[in-house]
Amino acid sequence: MKKLVVVMMQLVAFGLASFAQSAKQKAEQMASEFNKEKLKTKEKNGVVTKKDVKVDARPDVLQDASGYSATYELEGLDQYFTLDNSSGSWKGVFSGNKDGKTSTAATLKNIRIQDGLLTATLIDKDGKEKPFEAVFIIRSGDGYEARGIGFTQELLLANGWKFDKAFFKRQEL
């Protein structure tokens, strides 16, 4: 009987492990949500111009995670995500400028980075905590390439806007 229980526990453990996604698989899946493809059509003076727009996104996997330390911007909205590892432990802050003032919308704690996937606990400005995941991405298409970080879960930004998907582009030094 004991053997049967042990065998059953091993099978359950194996089954659960096979359902769990690795960090690499999760990063690839999340990055793919930032791919896009569309056909733009424009007509001017009876001439129709068509243009295919294709943006590919793939995980940005660095060997040394400290290379992700940077400020990332949600372009055009004056919203920022700063990720810092200068003190030896990770700190993450979502902030923005509203009415000429900089305010913090949320912070991250317990930050872990593996295979381009960032996992942490998000603490909003009201002190509520929830799990947070994001992926470091390289987006490319039509002659450009941009590095940044993307997330696909709800976040209230400093300007009061709520996003459930956003790409913050890494600011160049």
**Could you report the per-residue pLDDT of 53-102, keeping only the tens digit for each?**
788 889 999 999 889 999 999 888 888 999 998 888 899 999 888 777 88
- How does the average pLDDT of the chain come out, rounded? 82
- On the question of pLDDT at 12 being above 80, the answer is no
Q: Which residues contact 29 (CB under 8 A, 6 or more apart)?
A: 21
Whether residue 139 has pLDDT greater than 50: yes
Structure tokens at 104: 């913090």
Q: Give the CA count within 13 Å in the CB-facing half-sphere of 15.
A: 6
Q: How many CB atoms lie within 10 A of CB 37?
A: 10
Higher pLDDT, 163 or 171: 171
Torsions phi, psi of 104, nearest 5? Answer: -95, 130
Distances (CA, A) of 23 to 50, 68, 82, 133: 39, 16, 22, 11
